[in-house]
Structure 1
């Protein structure tokens, strides 16, 4: 099989080869784009599990440690630190996971998500 049988040669034989190459490259790019998009969107809902070395005590942890908890961002971590500063030193601000619901923006769902990573000792 020669190139003459693959590409129809006429006056514009060279042009047909260039057009064929362009169309082939375009199709390959489209297929690769679709494959990449499907692989990215397929993992969109998957999150990495949180791996903590130890449990976090919300009564003593700094904001940098609190942001490692699921659903707790930098702003919410600062609010937790400020909230516990308003309590007496002889009584902790948080004695159980449900107490963290006293923080504005943290409800039962978030408290339930972070409960396995909290300690109150």
Structure 2
């Protein structure tokens, strides 16, 4: 009985670890284009909520597209630390 229980627990742990691995792999999504994304998509970036997403779009509309991620510091409330958090999650390519 103990051997059977150990086997079931081992199978459960293996299943859980495979499930967690697949979730982590699903997190690898394409970068968000900050020059074309809408507010809803921009708000998914770390440190960016609905109000900052709207500010990104306003800055983009008023002053032109972003050349690189560091250009996000043109937006009030977005500093270098915030840009560093999202650097690998954004792109400016059309």
Superposition TM-score tier, normalisation by shorter sequence? 0.5 to 0.7
Please tell me whether Structure 1 or Structure 2 has the larger radius of gyration of its CA atoms: 1
TM-score (norm 1): 0.53
1:83 pairs with 2:59 = yes
| Structure 2 alignment gaps of length 5 or more | 1-23
More strand per residue: 1 or 2? Answer: 2
CA RMSD across the alignment: 1.5
Count of aligned pairs between the two proteins: 68
Greater RCO (Cα-Cα under 8 Å, separation 6 or more): 2
TM-score (norm 2): 0.67
Runs of 4+ that moved beyond 2 A: none
1:71-90 deviation line (CA, Å, top 9, x unaligned): 00000000101111113xxx
More helix per residue: 1 or 2? Answer: 2
| Structure 1 alignment gaps of length 5 or more | 1-48
